[in-house]
Structure 1
């Protein structure tokens, strides 16, 4: 069963010390352990940690990226509609 988060819950997860979550569409992903493996570099994920990264994600990725990494990084859904 998937956990439900608010945007405020995600906003608190914005640093390596307390975890790094991002929102893509309505899904919440924990990128804390992935940040150093990110092909685009850690700086990008650190910049969007705790935020809705939907616009940035789809600008540089296609659906195959979510198929490859999504299931291992997804921790839940946003209970309220995320703003783009």
Structure 2
């Protein structure tokens, strides 16, 4: 079973040193180890750390990106009803 995170849990991981969690469509991803690999650069990931990045993600990516990296980076889901 996937771990569930509150909005505050995600906010507490807003930097690379703390794990750099982001939310995409209620799924929580740990991006700290991916920052240097991100084709768009580290800056954008750091900007959305600890936040819901769904809008920004879907603006530049399609479903194939989640299929490629999702299993590796996903650490859980946002608790139902949790809002940032």
Structure 2, unmatched stretches of 5+, are: none
Alignment of 1:37 with 2:37, yes or no, is: yes
* TM-score between both structures, scaled by the size of structure 1: 0.94
Corresponding residue SS for 1:17: helix
Q: CA deviation at 1:75?
A: 0.3
Q: What TM-score, normalized to structure 2?
A: 0.94
**Which residue of structure 1 lines up, in the alignment, with residue 61 of structure 2?**
61
Would you say 1:15 and 2:1 are equivalent positions? no
Runs (4+) of structure 1 exceeding 6 A deviation are none
- 2: distance between equivalents of 1:55 and 1:38? 17
> Per-residue CA shift, 1:1-41, capped at 9, x if unaligned?
10000111000101111110000001000000001100000
- CA root-mean-square deviation: 1.4
